[in-house]
Each structure stands twice: as C-alpha cells, then as structure tokens.
Chain A
Amino acid sequence: MRFLFLLVLICFPSLAAAQVEKGESTISGRVVYADTGKPVRRATVNLFSSFNLPPERTTSTNNRGDFRFNEVAAGTYFVLAEIPGGLSPLKAFVVTEFGYSSDVDIEQTRVSVDGKNAVRCEVRLVRAGSIRGTITYSDKEPVTGAPLQLFRRKNGVTAPYFVRRVETNDRGMYRIDGLPDGEYFVGVSDSIGRVVFRGPDEDRGVVTSYYPGVGSITEAKSIQVQAGSEVSAINITLGDDRLRQISGVVKWRDSGLPVPLATLALRKMDEPRVDVSFEQYLSANSATAAYEYTLTSDIDFTMLASLPVTSTNVQGEWKFPELPPGKYLLTASATPPHADSPVVDLEGEPRIEVESLMNRHARGPVTVRQFEFTVGDTDLKDVVLEMTDGARISGTVVAEGSSMPNLRLFLKRDGSQIGFTRSYHNRDEGSFVLEGVPAGDVRLEAQVLTGSDSYVKSITLGSQDLMRSPLRVEEGAEITGVRITIGHGLAKLSGRVLFGEGGAPAVGSGVLLVKADPALWHSPTARALAIVNAAGEFVMECPPGDYVVFTWAAGNQPAQSMDEFIRAQATGARRISLQKDEEKQIELTVAKPKQ
C-alpha cells in the first residue's frame, strides 16, 4: 500500500503547476479574529473555487490584516484565511470513501466576481481548540518523540482525525492544535519503528495507549474540545508492562521452506482506521481530478493508510514487539521462490535496498494471505503462517468500436481490496492475467483509467456475469477465458445542488451516483462522486445506465461505509437514466445540516 503512496506523491507536482486563468477583478479585504474583531497579521489567504482543487490563488495579509487578490477571473470563490492556531477545513478533517469532511464552516466568505469589478470582504478567523498533555512510562520517565494519534466521535462513529503531525517532546509533552468543537480520543503510538526506520523490529502505527492510559479505544475516555479553548492535562501513562510480543515464521505450505522478505502488515481490529485503501479512495474521487490536494496540505498523510509493517528475515522469521492486548489482523504478502532471488548482499551486509524491493513487488507475482490472532497476557511465539502460490485468472479484453483504454484490474473480497495481487493487461493483444489469487470467493474489478471515453461494460466467464456475482477460486486453480468488454460514450451529468428548492447553493456538498442495480452496489467502478464547487455546481462523467443519486451537505458526510450507506438509503433515492454520450443537467436539493 505504501508503494501506491509514492506514486501519488510523484504525480502531485504536475497538478500544482495548473494554469491560472486571469481576469481583471479584485477581491480584497481584511482578516479579523471572530472573537475580538482584531486584525490578523500575516495570515495566509487562499482563493478556492472548490476545496477539492488546489487554491486558485494564494497571498498573505499585511500587518493591518489586509489582503488583496488582483487579476481575478470571473467566478465564485471561497476566501479562506489560515494561521497556526486558527480553524481551517484543510488542516483538520476526516477522510472516508466519500472524500474528506471537515466541520469548519466554509460558506461565510463566498465571493462572486464578474472578471471586471472589485469586491471587498471581511474574513472572520475562528480560533481553534487544542489539547495538551504529557506522556510518561510507568516510572515517570518521558515518552519522547512519539507521534500522537487523534480520533473523533461524531454521530456515534469514531474515525481517525487528521491534523498536522504532533510528537511528544523531550519531556513527553505534546500539544495538538487546530481542532473544531467536538469529542475526541487521544492515543500515542510509542513504537520502536519510529526510532529505527527499517528492519524486522519496525512496528509503526499501532496505538500503544489511549487517554487516560488504556490499550483499547473502547475503554478510552473522550475529550470535549471547544474551538478557541485548550484542554490540558490529557496525560497518558503508557502501560508499558502490558505490551507483548508476537513472533513466528512464514513458510510455503507445499515445500515447508521459509519465506524470506515476506511483507507483514498488522491491523488492530478495534482501532478505527480509514477503511479505504488509498487507491480506492482515489478511484472513488477520480471524477473530480484533483483529489490529492487536501491530503497533501501539511497533514501527516502517511498515517492515512500505512499499517504497521515488518518483513521476514532470510529464515522467514518475523516479530512485532510491544503490542497492546487485543485482536489483530495480519496480512502477509510474498513473492513465490521461483521469482528472482530477492536477497542482495551489499558490501557484505545482508540488506536489501529500497529499489530492489520495489522492483520485486513490481515484477511479482505476489501472493497474499490474511491471519487473525489475539494478544493477551503472554508473548505469542512460534506462530506459523503458511503461504501458497495462489491461483491464476486470465482472459481477453474486447473494446467495442473504440481504441483500447488502459485498464486497472484488481480483486476485492468482503468489500476490501486484496492488496498486492499482480495484474497484467496487455493492450496490444487484448489479454490480461491476475496472479497470486487467494482461494475463496473474489470479485474481479476492472477500471478504465481516466482520460478515456471508455468504460467497462461487462465481465463474463462463460454464462456467469462476474460484475454481478463473485468468482469462486479453488486453491492454485488456473481460470481462463474471462472476457472483459469495453464500451464507449460516457454520459456527462452536471447541475446545481441547493438547500431545498429555490434555496441557496449548497456549496461543498457531495453528489454520489450509483448504478440502480443492487447487484452492482459492491463495485467501486459502478459509482461516481463529485463535490459541489463554490458556485454550487458539479460535473461528473459516467457510463450510460440507470442510477440512484445521493447528496449530503458539507460537514454532513455519511459516517458509515459506502456499501452500507447505499444499502440504507437506496429506497426512495432519486433515480436518473443516462444515455450513451448524453449531456444532462439536473438540479438537486440537500437538507441543511443542523448547527
């Protein structure tokens, strides 16, 4: 999963270099503190047309709190002022499959210009809340340099909350800033992995202890934060005496040989996580193109999807030291021994450099297995994880009356993507293959990468419709003859979202289109998502077909998973039919969130 991150990072700078359209309007004003009315000096001021896109423009205030954007093109914008310690929708938020969500009011400084006139506005900056405390071991020595992890409970759902990365200092003290009103949980991740950024001991990310000093979020005490005030003495005693080690070996089931350099990712079951793979998140948001922006604005987004990871040594041995008690899910992935030998001996030191490891994962095939275990009162030793080569699925790709697009093929099970399974799509030959497929029922998903007018029309194996029913895979099976049909002529749906009929534009709202056929609800490729811009408008492209439409207001994003949300809300949702190449406009309404 972390390799995907790298790709995203590399892609990002090209987005930042987007062309700025110039006009002759001026947007000027003053930034003041909402509570005192005093000017805010040296605040950063951004002009956004949508929070899903990078800012159109950026400037700062002078010592009198004044700012001015010259040469602004006609349009509707948000004027967002930011200062450390101030509330910003971009510096504190939740991420789900529905995109990012923040409770910060973004409506107040919406400005429209015609490209010629000058507009003045006052931007009221709300001071954020903060949490302060000290983290110590049982003997009162400080826990130093450990990252804090924040969770927020809203509408009964607890989710990771993303703010700028905070670590404890040399005395174990920390301060988390930038928080809107709400109910929070504070945890600390005191792992060895943060100290030594490599090696079998790495165990980054598991929350070691939650306030006030418990190992599970179910026992943790929540903290009420009010914007503009500080909650102090949120101290945690680490409970180092209850941490345990789990260790063992990874073996090939057939040969009994150890698996060197298998990658093991660990997840604590009761720890709230962003329950989307990053790839899934990106594909869900691809209609809006610049999804990355919010995730890269000063947030420790590495926390987003990076589970604690370790690797086996040449003997296939692994360990996760210092885990708090609880239930865990371990995902192991490995390259079967017939692939290139992964061990590189560099200057006599048994070490693998990044490049060779990445190459190995790029070449594959990789098999993936998942294991569950429980950490209790004692260390778990000699845990044996058995891996197999996995099955192989292959077939043809047929494009109907259009050129062959780039396809991404992946597998899902129980709503989650099976990571690291290798897929190859040969565009010239119109063939594909997936390797290292685990046994059981899997969903085969095919997605046309953006920038094409094509879409996946059907996936079949003989008479079986693989878009609507899962594929049963036996251990080590060779499944051939799967046929993927590509159609073309995407429909374009655009429109406005209002707070009730004839109401104000519901800026920042979400619009979700899902295929009306319940048998397709599982598939991320049967959905399209858009966020309403500052002008109250949205636009999305999707394959022709019958859809149900969902909307939600900014800050009122669904808390449950997308699958659950669709199932719960589909009856009574508005329906819409889109024809091939059709360009349709609609007006949608959404309920205003309660303040």
Chain B
Amino acid sequence: MIRTLLLASFVLCWTSEVKLQAQDRPNGSTVRGVVVYSDTGRPLRHARVTLFGNQRAFRTQTASDLRGNFEFENVRKGEYSLIVEAPGLLAPYRNGARVRAAVPNPAYPDISELITNVTVTGIDSVDLKIKAVRGGVITGKVTNDDDQPVPHAEIRLLRRDSGKWVPVWTTWTLADEETQKADATGVYRIAGLPSGDYLVRASEPTLADDDVPGEEDTYSNGSFVVAYHPAAINLKNAQVVSVVAGSETTGVDIRMKQQVLHTLDGTVKFELLGQPGSSVTVTIERSDEVGFSTAINNYTTSANQEGKWQVVGLPAGEYLVTIAGSSVILKDPGNVQFVRSLPKRITVKLQDEKVATLSTSLTLGARVVGRVMLSGKPLARDATMTVGAQPVKDPAVSKTATAQSDKPAFEIGLVSPNGRFSVSPLLAGTYWFTASLPKPDEFYVKSVMRKGIDLMQTPFKLTDELVFDDIVVTLAADLASVEGQVMLPDGDMTVIVAPANEVTRRFNAGTRILEAGAQGKIVFRSAPGEYFIAAVTTAEYKTIASQIHNEYFDKNPDKFLRIKLSAGDKIKDLRVPVMKK
C-alpha cells in the first residue's frame, strides 16, 4: 500500500510542475507535425510526443490533439530526437514519462526506426509526419489446476535477444511499471511488443499480511509460485511464443500447477564480532532465473534482531540465497570504522523436507588498510579522496558486483579526515591499488608503498580475511605545468587530456576536458605520467562526449598526440593537434 501512496504522491507532485511557453525567447523554431498509425493512416490522438536535445540536457513533452497534430514552440537551434508513445505502440524508451534523459530500452536492440531526428535552425519551422507503429500483443488466461482463474497473477515476458532470454519492460503508464497483472478473471494482455520470440511467465500475486503466523500452508508472498506458458514450472520447459508487430497472439494461456510449498529459514551471525546478523538482507532467487535482474524475480527479506529470517511459499527446486550484511562497526584501537561484511551466496535445493534451515556466518573479507601522507603529515583536509582495489584479471567488473558475483570486484573506500582508509570487503584475489583525487591540479599520488614494495607498479595478492595494512600513500604538489596552443583552431575549441597508460589511469582521476581560450591557448597542471592530448571544436566535442572513456583512447590512439610529463616539468609551447576525423 505504501508503494501505491508513493506513486500517487509522485503523480501529484508531477502535475504541480508548471511549464511556461518561452515567449520571452522569440528566436526559436516551431517544431510541429502530425502522428498517424502506420497501418490505417488515421490520426493517433493523445499520444505523448517527447523532444530530446541531442547536445544538451533538454526534454519537453506535449500530446497530439484530436487530429493527431502536435506543436513545440520556440525550440532553440540544435539537433533533437523525437519519440511518440501511446499504449500498444512500439516504444523506443523505457517509460519516457519517468526518465528525463533518453535511456534506451535494452529489450529493443534497434530503436533507431522509432526515433525521428529533427534539425532545428532556430529560424525556420519544422513540419513532420510521424508514422506510429503498432506492436504485437500477447493475451491469454492464467488458471489453476482446477480451472479457476488466478486473479491479479503477475505477468512477465522474456524476449529472445542474441540467443539469450531478456526481461521486457511491458507497461506504458506510471503505475505498475515493472509488472503487468491479469484481471480478476485471470485474463492478461500485453501490447506494444516488437516482433520476436517470447516466453510468458506468470507468478501468483503477493497478498497483504501481518507478521503473526496464521493457518498452515498460507503464504502471502506468491512470487515464487511460477508457471511459464503453457504449463511449465520452470523456464527450461517453457514454450516459445512468436509475436509479430501489429498482430495479436491469442490463447497464450498459463496453467499453474498446485505444488507442495516449502519453507526456508535461517540464522545469520557476524563471525568476527560473535553477534547475531540483525538487519542482514536475505535475497532469494530461483536458480533457473538468476541473472534476469530484479525485473523478473527475486525476493528480499531481512533478518530480525536475533539474526533469524524465514521465507515461505517456495515450490520444490533450486534456489540461490544471497545473504548480505549491512555495515558493522569495527573498533580498531583509536580508529572506529564502518565495514561491510562479505555477502554469502548459497545454493539450496528444496525437495523432500518441508522446512530447510541455513546457518550462516558472515565474515568481513579481506581489507586493505593504510594512510595518506602529504608533506610528511597525514592528509587532513581532503576527505573526498578515494582509494580502491581493482581486480587484476577483470577490471570491467562493476563496483557493485560483490552482491551479484563470487568474483573479486572493484571496491573503493573513502579517505577519512585523519588520512586513514580501509577498503573492504574483498574476496581473495590479485588487485591493483588505485587512488582518485578530487583536485588533480593540486596534488598527485607520488608513491604507494607497503613494506618496501611499490604498489603503483606491482599488484598485490589477498587471501580470505587478510588485513593488508601499513600502506602509505604519499601525495606531492610538484605537478607538471603545461602551456600550449591548439594548432589551427576553428572557433571554440575543447582540449581532451587523457591518461595513456594503466598506471596513470589508476592514480590520476582520468580524463580532463579543457576549454581552450582565445586563439586556442590552454594552460593546465597535471600529475607526472603519459597522456593522450588532442583538440576538437566544442560543437563536435558534444557529439562525441558520451564515447569519451578509456576504450575510445585505446581504439583511436592515432587521433591523439601522446606526451610524457615528469614531476616539476614546465612545458611552455606544447602544440596541440586538432583531432583527425
């Protein structure tokens, strides 16, 4: 119910937002058009039409009128993308009402056909004719063994994408963004689907419940009681449903078999502290659905004060249980730290026993501990500096991956105001040390040493629960200073300065974007290291800005000049080339 309330209040907030027409900015263009259905040619009324700026954060919306016409007034010069949304249409974006920037819908690999590119001069009007394409429809009925409907069964679709099954976002309105429900008679209908192969999955609705145990075999959480079309209890036996955009696939019924339901409970404790794992979160996923993200299925509960938890309503089968601790307070002498424990992942098979019990100890994992020094004193003021441990083998693993994976993950830690840091929890593995400074033109990381070993150049190895301490990070202020000149500048120029090798990237905050001054002059200070440098026109930079990360430099090294800076260098006349197209 709280969710309903929040949604409702969101809607109210949203409606109070007021947009003004920009009559005070007379030099814009009018972008107008008509939306028609591609199959019937008749007007599409009250469709949501959204205009996104390609080069700047801009988004405006309107609706088509009763003749399918829409109009945006006073649109500034620039490149725009226009999308049309309405129930039943192929949708290029996941719920355009909620995202302010254009976030591509992962379920629709080729969205370009659904986006109209609009070039606005700021003077001339733009007239558009948009053809809205009706998607496909899947509809059917969800019933029990005894032919009774399953009212409000939750329906989710998986679409085959490059040989894999990927969850699809299926709704258009603000409510029930992630799920679509069958009606009171068990009938469901999901529209706006692109052509393709689908699996249709139903799960029982979740009912309201208080915490007092009731009748035997009751379960409020129905999300584990799952069936795939036509009557499969797991994904493996599901039948593929083919959908063609513009047509309906009917009779996609789902029969939900009555199954014996099991209970899984457990106790968690923090091993190092000898305390119960209170408020630890326990996430349960069906093993055949792991990796489908939260869109498809998982269920999270938390342990009580005694570290006990329980989940009821589980059919026989295999489950992945992830137990993740919140922060615990660790008292080192004179140094209180909040430390997260290592999440634990356990596969549980429920077969004969009615109740299965897990006892879990959470450990803190390995930690990397040390301090940051500047001019012989602990770094006192720059509390926003972060340090990290980056797995050597797989640097692409995301920072949040520990909850999802058994592999070592990139973890970062904040440097405390007393210069101390602690990075945890870490799995056994080999890591690089990393550091990131908020102001890269003031200080740089000069050295990272542990017991005589240079951690800037050497990776380190962690075993389970190892505390890897006494790391001393030394900062220095004698940056290299560079004065330069863009060769043959063409109007406003932007200069890209990017680290050119692994060591520089790990310690010096990555890419910097500088606005060149009059006649293309630039001045900057930088840590010693190797860099790529090149200039582009500011307008062109905006079109490539989203691509500017490490891969781009590694793929296009010949577009840049490569320079090496040493501590204290004073370079006066660096000639910055304009990037090759």
Contacts and interface: CB of A to CB of B under 8 A. Distances in A.
Nearest to B86: A144
B214 A199 contact: no
Nearest to A43: B207
A324 to B, nearest CB: 12
Interface stretch (B185-193, B320-328, B475-483, B508-516): B185-193
B11 interface: yes
Contacts of B318: none
Contact of B24 (A137, A165, A204, A314): A314
Interface string A186-222: 0000111111111111101000000000000000000
A298 B62 contact: no
Select the residue from B151, B214, B258 with max chain A CB neighbours within 10 A.
Answer: B214
Nearest to A65: B215
Contacts of B218: 59-62, 67
Contact of B210 (A12, A57, A137, A260): A57
A201 B20 CA distance: 11
A175 B11 contact: no
Select the residue from B12, B16, B22, B152 with max chain A CB neighbours within 10 A.
Answer: B16
B169 to A, nearest CB: 15
A170 B66 contact: no
B4 A141 contact: no
Contacts of A261: 18, 20
A499 interface: no
Interface string A48-74: 000000000111111110111111000
B39 to A, nearest CB: 11
Interface stretch (A2-10, A464-472, A525-533): A2-10
Contacts of A201: 62-63
B43 A28 contact: no
B499 interface: no
Contact of A349 (B11, B58, B134): B58
A302 B11 contact: yes
Given A20-B210, A61-B218, A69-B212, A170 B5 contact: no
Interface stretch (A94-102, A350-358, A485-493, A573-581): A350-358
Nearest to A22: B212
A77 to B, nearest CB: 14
Contact of B13 (A64, A178, A354): A354
Given A59-B209, A130-B184, A83 B151 contact: yes
B210 A200 contact: no
A509 B23 CA distance: 58
Given A170-B87, A192-B46, A321-B65, A177 B184 contact: yes
A204 B12 CA distance: 12
B19 A296 contact: no
Contact of B19 (A58, A322, A351): A351
Nearest to B67: A240
A353 B17 CA distance: 5
Contacts of B215: 28, 59, 61-62, 66-68
Contact of A42 (B2, B173, B204): B204
B87 A350 contact: no
A542 interface: no
B8 interface: yes
A400 B214 CA distance: 53
> Chain B binding site: helix, strand, loop or mixed by DSSP?
loop
10 contacts: A42-B204, A58-B210, A60-B218, A62-B219, A69-B214, A83-B184, A137-B45, A167-B173, A170-B192, A322-B65
Nearest to A177: B184
Given A197-B15, A297-B1, A9 B45 contact: no
B88 interface: yes
B19 A198 contact: yes
A311 to B, nearest CB: 5
B217 interface: yes
A184 to B, nearest CB: 17
B97 interface: yes
A5 B8 CA distance: 10
B63 A196 contact: yes
Contact of B12 (A6, A165, A260, A317): A6
B33 interface: no
Contacts of B1: 16, 296-298
A84 B148 CA distance: 13
A44 B184 contact: no
Given A60-B214, A70-B212, A352 B48 contact: no
A410 interface: no
A171 interface: yes
A354 B17 contact: yes
A68 B214 contact: yes
Interface in B33-75: 37, 40, 42-48, 57-58, 60-63, 65-66
B63 A195 contact: yes
A566 to B, nearest CB: 33
A524 to B, nearest CB: 24
Interface in A72-111: 83-85
A202 B204 CA distance: 37
Contacts, number: 223
B208 to A, nearest CB: 5
Contacts of A198: 14-15, 17-19, 61
A197 B45 CA distance: 16
Contacts of A428: none
For chain A, which range describes its interface: under 10, 10 to 19, 20 to 34, or 35 or more residues? 35 or more
A72 B213 CA distance: 12
B222 interface: yes
B110 interface: no
B137 interface: yes
B220 interface: yes
Contacts of B185: 85
B439 to A, nearest CB: 25
Contact of B18 (A63, A240, A311): A311
A429 interface: no
Contacts of B431: none
A351 B20 contact: yes
A347 B152 contact: no
A332 to B, nearest CB: 14
A171 B88 contact: yes
B508 to A, nearest CB: 31
Given A44-B207, A349-B58, A200 B16 contact: no
Contacts of A68: 214-215
B486 to A, nearest CB: 28
B217 A350 contact: no
A333 interface: no
Nearest to A347: B57
A309 interface: yes
B17 A196 contact: no
A343 interface: yes
Contacts of B44: 141
A8 to B, nearest CB: 10
B567 to A, nearest CB: 40
Given A28-B215, A60-B219, A145-B87, 13 more contacts: A2-B16, A60-B220, A62-B215, A62-B219, A69-B212, A70-B213, A70-B214, A193-B15, A196-B48, A196-B63, A198-B14, A298-B4, A349-B58
B18 A199 contact: yes
B5 A243 contact: no
A302 B12 contact: yes
B266 to A, nearest CB: 23
Contacts of A57: 210, 212
Contacts of A63: 217, 258
A139 interface: yes
A328 interface: no
B512 to A, nearest CB: 23
B543 interface: no
Contacts of B79: none
A139 B209 contact: no
B152 A84 contact: yes
Contacts of B11: 197, 302
Nearest to B45: A137
A13 interface: yes
Interface in B113-151: 134, 137, 144, 148, 151
